[in-house]
Amino acid sequence: MPMTIDNLLRDHKQMIEEALERLLSGGSTPLHLAMRSAVLSGGKRYRPLLMIAAGEYFHVPLDRILPFACGLELIHNYSLVHDDLPCMDDDDMRRGRPTVHRAYGEDIALLTGDALLSLAFEVMADASGGPEFLPQKVRTIQEISRFSGAKGMIGGQFLDIRYIPEEATEELLLELMAKKTGGLITAAVRVGGILGDAPEAGLRALTTYGENIGLAFQTRDDILDYRQDESKDRPFRPNAAHFFGLEQAKTRLNQYIDRAQIVLCDAGIQSESLVYHANCLRLPEAEKRDE
Ligand code: GRG
């Protein structure tokens, strides 16, 4: 029976879940329980799936890519734990459950994020592959460090917490989105390409694809949050639907997705999975009609 894209993604997701469970299986202290609860709580695993999709196109074996896919997902989960803290977004619920600081306390939540970040780098550094793999491994870890740190996700979060709607410019908002959300997403596809020795042109195309998917991801999230955010009793957070208006934000979302797909096509990268991951970001029909 031919493998459908849904079956392929289900298999990859299961493989990621099992690997994450293995990585988090030791220990029974509240810190260990909180780490498990933070990660093994039903995330979509969008970033590791993207990495695997990009890697597969360039013939990277799954066992080679898995430590980096898990590392990136651990970094994403640490960022969610810290982002939910009272000093950041102050959220009570995540993935339909109490946030880590709500369930375990702020002190444990802080340490949970720290420990997940350290574990991510341990897992990636431990990736096996022999001496000839070392330069590629170092380059991959460099990429992930850069896109998750002050030049990437954390830099974007910094712009987010300092955001003043009345003073915001389009350039600032796009930089914030590209770094905060686009950082890890761009890293995911680039790492797939790097592990597969993608040629420079291929890597450039993957980067532009990732950048557009990153902007699409955050724009979509902002559109879905828009009405809800307005009713929240808290300082107004950066939101593309608020900045551009709901209609223009919807147009932009489609443009980002289209651009991501066109750049792949222009580079001759015929990956059904990468096209699928971009299309996943289109709005649900009900949201399109509700205007
Ligand atoms: C505070 C360290 C620190 C970083 C904050 C990524 C980030 C930077 C904050 C997360 C909050 C947020 C709204 C980010 C925008 C990206 C986003 C919508 C994240 C949620 O990602 P999903 O939908 O979540 O992939 P799941 O639950 O599926 O993993």
Q: Ligand 1: distance of its center to the CA of 78 in Å?
A: 9
Q: What pLDDT does 189 receive? A: 98
**Fold of the 5-289 domain:** Farnesyl Diphosphate Synthase (1.10.600)
**Among 38-52, 167-181, 226-240, which is the least confidently predicted range?**
226-240
Question: 135: phi > 0 → left, psi -120 to 50 → alpha, else beta; which?
Answer: alpha
224 Cβ closer than 6 Å to some ligand 1 atom: no
Q: What pLDDT does 230 receive? A: 60
Mean pLDDT value across residues 179-184: 98
Q: Ligand 1: distance of its center to the CA of 101 in Å?
A: 16
222 Cβ closer than 6 Å to some ligand 1 atom: no
114 Cβ closer than 6 Å to some ligand 1 atom: no
Q: Ligand 1: distance of its center to the CA of 137 in Å?
A: 26
Whether the per-residue pLDDT at 278 is higher than 80: the answer is yes
Q: Ligand 1: distance of its center to the CA of 74 in Å?
A: 12
202 Cβ closer than 6 Å to some ligand 1 atom: no
C-beta of residue 39 within 8 angstroms of C-beta of residue 116:
yes
Q: What pLDDT does 257 receive? A: 98
Q: Hey, which of 17, 79, 234 would you mutate to test ligand 1's pocket, going by the most ligand atoms within 8 Å of its Cβ?
A: 79
Q: Ligand 1: distance of its center to the CA of 181 in Å?
A: 7
Encoded tokens for 68? 């980096």
Confidence class of residue 73 from pLDDT cuts 50, 70 and 90? Answer: very high
Which tens digits make up the pLDDT trace of 76-135? 999 999 999 999 999 999 999 999 999 999 999 999 999 999 999 999 999 999 999 999
Q: What pLDDT does 31 receive? A: 98
Global pTM reads 0.95
Three-state DSSP class for residue 98: strand
Nearest Cα to 49, choosing from 197, 184, 216, 203?
A: 184
Nearest CA to ligand 1 atom 10: 80
Mean pLDDT value across residues 169-176: 98
Q: Ligand 1: distance of its center to the CA of 67 in Å?
A: 20
Nearest CA to ligand 1 atom 4: 79
88 Cβ closer than 6 Å to some ligand 1 atom: yes
**Among 193-202, 230-239, 248-257, 270-279, which is the least confidently predicted range?**
230-239
Whether the per-residue pLDDT at 232 is higher than 60: the answer is no
What average pLDDT does the structure give for the chain? Answer: 95
Confidence class of residue 238 from pLDDT cuts 50, 70 and 90? Answer: very high
CA distance 73 to 131: 26
Atom of ligand 1 lying closest to residue 41 CA: 27
Which tens digits make up the pLDDT trace of 122-153? 999 999 999 999 999 999 999 999 999 999 99
Whether the per-residue pLDDT at 22 is higher than 90: the answer is yes
Question: 61: phi > 0 → left, psi -120 to 50 → alpha, else beta; which?
Answer: beta
- Sign (positive or negative) of CA dihedral 279, 284, 289, 291: negative
DSSP secondary structure letters along 254-272: HHHHHHHHHHHHHTT---H
Nearest CA to ligand 1 atom 27: 43
280 Cβ closer than 6 Å to some ligand 1 atom: no
Q: Measured between alpha carbons, how far apart are the two ends of the chain, in Å?
A: 42
Mean pLDDT value across residues 246-269: 98
Q: What pLDDT does 236 receive? A: 74
Whether the per-residue pLDDT at 235 is higher than 80: the answer is no
